[in-house]
Amino acid sequence: MDFSRRRIGAAAALAMAGALLAGCGGGGSSTDPDRGKGAKSFSLTITRNAIEGGKNTEEAEWITTKVIPAFVAAQKAEGVTAKVTFRGQGVDDEAYKTKLALDLKSRSGADIMDVDGIWVGEFAQAGYIKPLTDVVGAPADAWDGWTKIPGSVQKLATFEGKRYGVPPATDGRVLFFNKKLFARAGLPADWQPKTWPDIIAAARALKKLPGVTPVQLNAGTAMGEATTMQGFLPLLAGAGAEIYADGKWTGGGPAVQQVLGLYAQIYGGEGLGDPKLQQEAKGRDKSFEEFAAGKIGILAEGDYFWRDVINPRTGVAKMPSRDRDVGYALIPAAAPGRGVRGQDFVSMSGGSVTVLNPNTKYPQQAFELLAFMNSPEMVKARTAGTPELTSRTDVNKEILAGDPFLTFVSEKVLPVTSYRPGLAVYPQVSTALQEATAAVVSGKSPRQAAAEYTKKLEGAVGGAANVTPR
Amino acid sequence: MAPPTSPRAEAAPPRAASPRAASFGEDAAGLGRARAAAFTAPALILVAVFLVFPALWTLYLGTTDYRLTGIAASDPRFVGADNYRDVLGDGEFHRSLWLTLQFVVGSAVVGQTLLGFAIAWVMRDRSGPVRRLVEGLVLLAWILPSSVIAFLWIALLDRDGGTLNALLGTPGTAWLLDHPMACVVVFNVWRGTAFSMMLYGAALGNVPPSHLETARLAGASTWQTLRDAVLPRIRGHVLTSLLLVSLWTFNDFTPFLITAGGPDGRSEIMSVYVYRTALGDGRLGFGAAISLLMILINLVIALVYLRVLRSRRAPGNAGEAAA
């Protein structure tokens, strides 16, 4: 490297350092909702954990080929030049969350972003996102879409009574099963377990088939939130408890021990599940592939699995015979009437929320685009290839009619579903639950794992005063 | 790196830093105080902005309950030494420290050093295609991007359809799950041996051939030759290599790409542990406290090596020039 080039490098680095220091001073950006209003040209960016040719490719394609061109054309008709770019991501949800949080913290990042509904509370508490009314002003409440989105779904985007964004869709969790394997094991094609022992009985029948893992119930830390959402929490609801109720977190009492007991039964001596799969870094993706290849009998997953994972056309683990070979059933309570709120069947729901970056230069235009993305036409375009449970009742009426699976989810699952608490310590609680399942899978007794969980929980949520010994 | 091309750089006479100049406060470069200050200012500012300030900031963060999200993100509270107390009492921290120790001793101190030296020793008076091929392969392991390498190793060690199981005829053996630490150690030896090999290759050039010849004529075994003729000459290089490799290994994050710290934290070395607590759980204050402990451990390692190096410095040794 020669001297002059080095000097240029140093100068550039100095300039960068100067810029960095200036950035550290951080005068808060303007919070006037009308800033940038009426601009003749503006630019916006959209980001979400979707990328063309990879994770959630359909969503990414919908944004780049439908939303952006239509929005730009509509703006052009009004004499405004809009430039909208999509910044795709295709990473693990935890990594995506970290990236967003750091972006928002440094007052940068995309103008419109998707967050998991469970993050709304912690992002709001941190001041990363603000209520729509604060960011946009009156237009936020005047949007006609709110009348089409049920209150329970709006709750996904609500924290402490304020709306932070628009939930585009919601989901539910069910038991998927492979009818072909069921037939070989002498089990019915319209299987619907009513108790946990029913699931174990079916698993024992499947165990007789060579090379088949009877049940895949997500466990362990490698699966991350999938363990909590697809595994532990639906079962906890089935044991009659919620993880957070009346301002207290549920400790390692009888309900938690009962759930861990089921884990022990599945991953213990009988080998009804594959414990190794729960430990592999890419275990969840592998479980998808194995189910698609007909090597797993029963799998607890969200409807996302049906729509995006084993979808014969666009899935990441395509299963050409999906419609013929894959059955689905409600997740039963431990025994009829023993579930949360006295239910016979249970489920968990979540979903993403599209929020605005409070630091956007063009809040009005950003909200216009957000509303446009959630207009009936665009929602229909989004679900044209793969129907899903959209948040809009008017659209659902049209698109679910021809889809027995989603009709099942919307009519049977959503009425019995529960939601997670959107609080900042939840991720730590979730980790503690994952570790408890991991402990049981690797051979610890449910009682011991529950006791360790209680200890971790108390450390995470600020002492035993905030924990119920339920 | 391009060779220096500016005439001034070439014309600059090679200067040995004379200890007298420093002690008598002479101005060796003849710049004068102001010019010298101006000359070093850019570097000092860079160091201040990118090293000193973040370090102090980390020190401060370590005394708060600062988090990535939630109330503690907007309004962190001062918790004093609580984080440090929690870290030192945290079983996961102890486990991670122990695993890191295994990782450093196994892959850096023993693995890379011995293998690197062995290759350098065997190749010392060879030349031609064999040497070029061996060195090329070893270097390749070192310079390929981590993400690519990690993918290859996962493919090698995978439970179903992994190359290793196909070679050994042991289908279904989950190497990464049954022996995560061993896998990571072997991986890191394979990955990092190149550095030690090159350093020792250069160091062995320092051993006068006449010494080796004399040892051979006196009927010394290989071991005796290494001990009495070679080692005294390359002691400085050995320590330099050990110091650098230990520090690099201690802070290495690459194993995360292969095992993600799993299964159940059985390969969660220190860097992975910090990453998971600070960013995974969002406990940035807690993470900062661990980072500070890591810095202290690094310092201890460096001090131990330097102490040994200083007391054993053979005269005329260019050991630290490699750094």
pLDDT (tens digit, 9 = 90+) per residue, A423-448?
Answer: 878 888 998 999 999 999 989 999 99
- The pLDDT value recorded for residue B234 is 87
Does the distance separating the beta carbons of A2 and B4 come in below 8 Å?
Answer: yes
**Most confident stretch, A13-17, A175-179, B78-82:** A175-179
Bigger pLDDT: A276 vs A470: A276
Read off the pLDDT of residues B7-37 as tens digits, 9 standing for 90 and up. Answer: 444 444 444 444 444 444 567 778 888 888 9
Asked if residue A79 lies in contact with residue A73, where contact means CB atoms within 8 angstroms, the answer is no
Q: Give the CA radius of gyration of chain B.
A: 24
Residues of A with CB under 8 A from a CB of B: 1-4, 10-11, 13-14, 17, 20-21, 94, 98, 101-102, 105, 119, 121-123, 125-128, 220-222, 276, 279-282, 423-425, 427-428, 431, 435, 438-439, 442
The average confidence (pLDDT) of chain A is 89
Chain A contact for B67 (CB, 8 A cutoff):
yes
Read off the pLDDT of residues B86-134 as tens digits, 9 standing for 90 and up. Answer: 889 888 899 999 999 999 999 998 999 999 999 999 888 788 888 889 9
Q: Which residues contact B74 (CB under 8 A, 6 or more apart)?
A: A125, A126, A127
Give the residue carrying structure tokens 């006791």: A451
Query: For the whole model, what pTM was predicted?
Result: 0.76
- The pLDDT value recorded for residue B22 is 46
Q: Which residues of A touch B264 (CB under 8 A)?
A: 220-221, 279, 435, 438-439, 442
Residue B215 has pLDDT above 80, yes or no: yes
- Closest chain A residue by Cα to residue B70: A122
**Distance (Å, rounded) from C-alpha A386 to C-alpha B170?**
41
Q: Which residues contact A26 (CB under 8 A, 6 or more apart)?
A: A107
Q: Which residues of B touch A117 (CB under 8 A)?
A: none
**Distance (Å, rounded) from C-alpha B163 to C-alpha B157?**
7
Asked if residue B92 lies in contact with residue B100, where contact means CB atoms within 8 angstroms, the answer is no
Give percent of chain A with pLDDT exceeding 70: 93
**Distance (Å, rounded) from C-alpha A264 to C-alpha A295?**
21
Bridge-partner residues for A299, per DSSP?
Answer: A176, A216
Which strands, in side-by-side order, build the sheet including A112-116? A81-88, A41-48, A112-116, A352-356, A165-166
- Closest chain A residue by Cα to residue B5: A2
- What DSSP letter does each residue of A68-123 carry, written as one string? HHHHHHHHHHTT-EEEEEEEE--S-HHHHHHHHHHHHHTT-S-SEEEEEGGGHHHH
Give the residue carrying structure tokens 């994770």: A55
**Distance (Å, rounded) from C-alpha A98 to C-alpha A88?**
15
How many angstroms from the chain centroid is the CA of residue A85? 24
- The pLDDT value recorded for residue A16 is 46
Q: Which residues of A touch B258 (CB under 8 A)?
A: 281
C-beta neighbour count of A407 within 10 angstroms:
15
Does the distance separating the beta carbons of A424 and B69 come in below 8 Å?
Answer: yes
**Distance (Å, rounded) from C-alpha B73 to C-alpha A143?**
31
| Ranges A179-193, A390-404, B299-313: which has the least confidence | B299-313
What six digits make up the tokens of B259?
A: 């095992």
Task: Give the model's confidence band at A272: pLDDT under 50 very low, under 70 low, under 90 confident, else very high.
Answer: very high
Asked if residue A111 lies in contact with residue A360, where contact means CB atoms within 8 angstroms, the answer is yes
Chain A contact for B277 (CB, 8 A cutoff):
no
Q: Give chain A's length.
A: 470
Q: Over range A233-238, report the average pLDDT.
A: 97
Does the distance separating the beta carbons of B282 and A125 come in below 8 Å?
Answer: no
Residue A152 has pLDDT above 50, yes or no: yes
Q: Which residues of A touch B1 (CB under 8 A)?
A: 1
**Candidates A2, A119, A222; nearest CB to B260:** A222
DSSP H helical ranges for A326-445: 363-373, 376-382, 393-399, 404-408, 426-441
Bigger pLDDT: A422 vs A285: A285
